[in-house]
């Protein structure tokens, strides 16, 4: 009986194996590229819920039953609320789209065209009193520009919603794929980590430090940053509702939550909005929006982050925004989350290499 063939580790140079492995990995990434986003999401969610899986495994004394229970639990606490929020947000987005198209959207009980007229008149009065020039800004020209721009924005928003609705079969397919990846991540998580260690060219100590640091930063980014972003986003949406821009709480809450993953966040919208309200005579409402952003929203980050995100796991603001924009370019809207995660991998790798060089420098020759 012939013995099974084995690979002779001395007959093939290491660089050949390295080139072959890198080539295969790149080809594999290109092959699964259409599903890369859902693969990353499934693995990240498995990473988040892995402690729940470990706890249930001890209680149920079965890894298989624990995987099923953890999957159901994740759907109840994450997927179902997400579907409800997306549904309500979509309905409010459709309403906003129709109001923008029909020109019936109001800022604190004032139409957009009326607001433009008031702003133009106020600015013209200031310019005339300063330099003596009358009617420097044409309110009709500004209204024409805005009346042309807003329907286009509304149509783009409407088209995006139509695309989401028409893509339901694709979403079902993605959800099924997500479930398989999520359950595989739970049941085979330790094996996947071991495979990563086996493929790594580093020693065991370096691998352990590298994976622990990357895991800590990933947890901090996922849990900490999401809590902060949601708090900032929905608090800002609540303030907009209080000042009269009501009926869009969930839409603005979700929008501002995603915007809060990048520096300035919801301020990209709320700061100009507050200034517009002040210029149109709504001084109290405009001031409240601006004060809320500069005094409350910015301090939500300052108060929450030190409590739930360790200092050594925080990503600098410049790298966060770079990762967010690069992520959006690569993965679309969800890249706001994926981009900073990839940046964490890059920075962790660089920092681990620097630490490795320092340790080698300390060792006697």
In this predicted structure, what is the pLDDT of residue 268?
Answer: 84
* pLDDT per residue rounded down to tens, the chain (365 residues): 455 555 555 566 676 777 888 888 889 888 888 888 788 888 888 888 888 888 888 888 888 889 999 999 888 887 777 777 777 767 777 676 666 666 666 665 555 666 666 666 666 666 666 666 666 555 555 555 555 655 565 556 556 655 655 666 777 888 889 899 999 988 887 888 788 777 777 777 777 777 777 777 777 767 777 788 888 889 998 998 888 777 778 888 888 887 787 767 888 888 888 887 787 777 888 889 899 988 898 888 778 777 776 666 667 777 877 887 888 787 776 777 778 778 877 887 787 778 777 777 766 65
In this predicted structure, what is the pLDDT of residue 144?
Answer: 57
In this predicted structure, what is the pLDDT of residue 358?
Answer: 77
In this predicted structure, what is the pLDDT of residue 69?
Answer: 92
Q: Closest by alpha carbon to 105, among 259, 274, 248, 239?
A: 248
Give bridge partners of residue 47 from the DSSP assignment.
none
Token digits of residue 297: 């929203």
- Do 278 and 287 contact (CB within 8 A), yes or no? yes
C-alpha span between 178 and 360 (Å, rounded): 42
Helices (H), the chain: 14-31, 36-60, 63-74, 80-102, 112-131, 139-166, 168-187, 189-199, 204-219, 226-242, 249-259, 267-279, 283-291, 298-308, 317-331, 335-362
In this predicted structure, what is the pLDDT of residue 299?
Answer: 86
Query: 56-89 in b/e burial notation, b at 16+ Cβ within 10 A?
Result: bbeeeeeeeebbebbbeebbeeeeeeeeeeeeeb
Separation in Å, CA 83 to CA 52, 75, 246: 22, 10, 22
- Do 105 and 275 contact (CB within 8 A), yes or no? no
φ/ψ of residue 309, rounded to 5 = -120, 110
Q: Is 229 helix (H, G, I), strand (E, B) or coil?
A: helix
Where do the domains of the chain lie?
35-199, 201-357
Cβ-based neighbours of 273, under 8 Å, separated by 6 or more: 107, 286, 289
In this predicted structure, what is the pLDDT of residue 75?
Answer: 86
- Do 194 and 259 contact (CB within 8 A), yes or no? no
| Cα 72 to the center of its chain, rounded Å | 24
């Amino acid at each position: 009986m012939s013995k099974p063939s084995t690979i002779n580790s001395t007959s093939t140079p290491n660089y050949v194996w390295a080139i072959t492995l890198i080539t295969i990995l790149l080809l594999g990434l290109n092959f699964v590229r259409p599903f890369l986003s859902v693969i990353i999401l499934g693995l990240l969610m498995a990473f988040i819920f892995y402690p729940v899986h470990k706890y249930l495994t001890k209680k149920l004394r079965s890894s298989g039953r624990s995987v099923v229970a953890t999957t159901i639990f994740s759907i109840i606490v994450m997927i179902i609320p997400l579907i409800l929020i997306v549904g309500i947000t979509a309905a409010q987005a459709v309403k906003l789209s129709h109001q923008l198209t029909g020109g019936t959207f109001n800022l604190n009980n004032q139409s957009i065209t009326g607001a433009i007229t008031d702003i133009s008149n106020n600015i013209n009065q200031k310019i005339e009193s300063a330099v003596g020039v009358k009617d420097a800004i044409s309110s009709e020209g500004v209204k024409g520009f805005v009346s042309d721009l807003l329907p286009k924005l509304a149509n783009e928003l409407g088209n995006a919603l139509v695309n989401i609705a028409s893509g339901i079969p694709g979403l079902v397919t993605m959800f099924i794929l997500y479930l398989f990846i999520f359950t595989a991540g739970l049941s085979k998580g330790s094996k996947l980590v071991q495979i990563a260690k086996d493929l790594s060219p580093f020693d065991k100590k370096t691998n352990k430090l590298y994976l622990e640091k990357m895991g800590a930063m990933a947890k901090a980014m996922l849990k900490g940053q999401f809590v902060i972003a949601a708090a900032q986003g929905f608090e800002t949406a609540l303030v907009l509702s209080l000042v009269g821009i009501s009926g869009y709480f969930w839409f603005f809450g979700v929008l501002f939550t995603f915007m809060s993953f990048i520096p300035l966040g919801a301020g990209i919208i709320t700061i100009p909005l507050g200034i517009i309200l002040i210029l149109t005579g709504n001084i109290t409402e405009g001031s409240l929006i601006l004060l809320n952003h500069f005094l409350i929203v910015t301090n939500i980050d300052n108060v929450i982050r030190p409590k739930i995100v360790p200092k050594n796991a925080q990503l600098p603001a410049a790298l966060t925004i770079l990762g967010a924009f690069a992520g959006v370019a690569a993965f679309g809207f969800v890249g706001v989350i994926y981009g900073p995660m990839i940046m964490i991998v890059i920075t962790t790798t660089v920092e681990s290499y620097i630490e490795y060089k320092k340790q080698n420098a300390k060792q006697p020759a």
